[in-house]
Structure 1
Amino acid sequence: MAPPRRGAGMTPGKRIFDICAAVLLGVVLSPLILGVALLVALRDGRPVLFRSERMRSPDEGFMLWKFRSMRPAAQDSGVSGGDKADRVTPTGRFLRRRRLDELPQLWNILRGDISFVGPRPPLRRYVEMFPDLYAEVLKSRPGVTGLATLAFHRTEERLLSGCTTAAETEAVYVARCVPWKAALDLIYQRQGSVCYDLRIMVATVWRRMPLRRRRKA
């Protein structure tokens, strides 16, 4: 395993929490992880995993891992919008609704690429478009979930789902999603703590629970 990476927004306490929680979840969820890998392999074939370059700082990238949820394409760039909807597999839609496609990111957490909570790691192209903005946002270690994920994810999905071309998706994301997400990320940055992270993690899991189960709780 690569040595832990720490920087702005990654205190020793936050890093220790990430490692302990990632190891615990990795052990507890190992049957689920293997089951999802087998499901993707049997229903959608290889590759089972998908990787994409993301940025942990304005000048340092890393490979973010997910279970593959889309049919491969020779050229693929930018965020996912309605123009890519036909590439999402039925298995992928199921995994995305419950965020099971992100289980491999436990490895990214152990490596220190990301934390459990923080701004979602951006693609290099957007960091290069908005260097000053992301210089502030990426003072926090990127995360699997975060305040922007909770507060804006559904709005982002709604905005992008109506886009029919890659150019339209790009224009909507740059104009309407990047500024709002960055504003929320900076609010998190000012209030972040282990307790606040736990609240966001619990809220993320709660939102992903099936509706009937939530009503019974």
Structure 2
Amino acid sequence: MLKKDFLNVREVNEARKHLEKKKMSLVLKRIFDIVASVMLLVLLSPVFFVLFIGIKVEDGGPVFYRQERVTTNGKLFRIFKFRTMVMNADKMGSLVTTQNDSRITKIGSKIRDYRLDEIPQLINVLKGEMSFVGTRPEVLKYVEAYSDEMKTTLLLPAGVTSLSSICFKDEDEMIEKFTSQGENIDDIYINRILPEKMKLNVEYIHSFNFLSDIKIMLLTVISVIK
């Protein structure tokens, strides 16, 4: 649980005033999230079924991975993801996944290659816990390491995709590079990866508008296809 005054800092208060001027874009963002998530849940239901069977057959464990993350105003929620790692993987190592992580299952490896593990987050989007575009939701441990500027990203719902997600799609390879030099995985993520990712996320907050969300979603589709 975050402290009550966690977001009571100058940077957040200034960003909040900026977003209050974007009411129409915020309304359009939510309407789009509801309509698009319902349509995609229906269209992708066959994919859900195939992955459900594949994950269940491999080891008999749960199909979904439900980890607690942080979203708007520091609120905690449980994210939906297709499980791509062995059961209790978060108790067997770091909260960050590396490139050749031994905890990843066979089918999980294929699912991650095509980013299909993120599809169930459509449920979180429909519930209002997430949006199609926004800062990727982090676990509490990493949010507590946020600088005051990074905290501004918590003024909008966590997102399925973002510019930082596209630019850091090979994040596991970056982490692998530093771990080969003997550095701790969590330290690498907090001190090296997170600050760079959050620069783009902070910029998104200050330049937010609905049309930019559409552009980011199109860039995401192109990135996945490539």
TM-score by length of 1: 0.84
Deviation string, structure 1 residues 29-87 (Cα, Å, up to 9, x no partner):
111111111111112321111111100045311000101000123715522225x7001
Q: How does 1:1-217 map to 2 (within 5 A)?
A: 11-57=26-72, 59-73=74-88, 75-76=91-92, 77-81=94-98, 85-130=101-146, 132-154=148-170, 156-162=171-177, 163=179, 168-209=184-225
Aligned to 2:3: none
Which residue identity lines up with residue 93 of structure 1 in the other structure? S
In the alignment, the residues of structure 2 paired with residue 47 and residue 167 of structure 1 have an alpha-carbon distance, to the nearest angstrom, of 32
State which drifts further: 181-190 or 18-27. Answer: 181-190
Tell me the CA shift for residue 137 of structure 1: 1.6
Instruction: Answer whether contact 1:65 1:105 (CA < 8 A) is retained.
Output: yes
Helix, strand or coil at the partner of 1:79: coil
In the alignment, the residues of structure 1 paired with residue 180 and residue 104 of structure 2 have an alpha-carbon distance, to the nearest angstrom, of 14
Which residue identity lines up with residue 59 of structure 1 in the other structure? G
Tell me the CA shift for residue 132 of structure 1: 2.1
Distance of aligned partners of 1:166 and 1:139 in 2 relative to their CA distance in 1, 3 Å threshold: farther
Instruction: Answer whether contact 2:61 2:87 (CA < 8 A) is retained.
Output: no
Which residue identity lines up with residue 71 of structure 1 in the other structure? V
Which residue identity lines up with residue 81 of structure 1 in the other structure? T
Distance of aligned partners of 1:39 and 1:177 in 2 relative to their CA distance in 1, 3 Å threshold: same
Helix, strand or coil at the partner of 1:53: strand
In the alignment, the residues of structure 2 paired with residue 33 and residue 166 of structure 1 have an alpha-carbon distance, to the nearest angstrom, of 39
Helix, strand or coil at the partner of 2:78: strand
RMSD: 2.2
State which drifts further: 56-65 or 169-178. Answer: 56-65
State which drifts further: 30-39 or 72-81. Answer: 72-81
In the alignment, the residues of structure 2 paired with residue 116 and residue 123 of structure 1 have an alpha-carbon distance, to the nearest angstrom, of 18
Q: Which blocks of at least 5 consecutive residues in structure 1 are unaligned? A: 1-7, 212-217
TM-score by length of 2: 0.81
Tell me the CA shift for residue 167 of structure 1: 6.7
Instruction: Answer whether contact 2:26 2:210 (CA < 8 A) is retained.
Output: no
Which residue identity lines up with residue 206 of structure 2 in the other structure? R
Helix, strand or coil at the partner of 1:38: helix
Distance of aligned partners of 1:165 and 1:32 in 2 relative to their CA distance in 1, 3 Å threshold: farther
Helix, strand or coil at the partner of 1:65: strand
Instruction: Answer whether contact 2:56 2:62 (CA < 8 A) is retained.
Output: yes
Distance of aligned partners of 1:166 and 1:19 in 2 relative to their CA distance in 1, 3 Å threshold: farther
Which residue identity lines up with residue 78 of structure 1 in the other structure? L
Aligned residues: percent identity?
Answer: 35
Instruction: Answer whether contact 1:58 1:134 (CA < 8 A) is retained.
Output: no
Distance of aligned partners of 1:160 and 1:32 in 2 relative to their CA distance in 1, 3 Å threshold: same
Tell me the CA shift for residue 129 of structure 1: 2.0
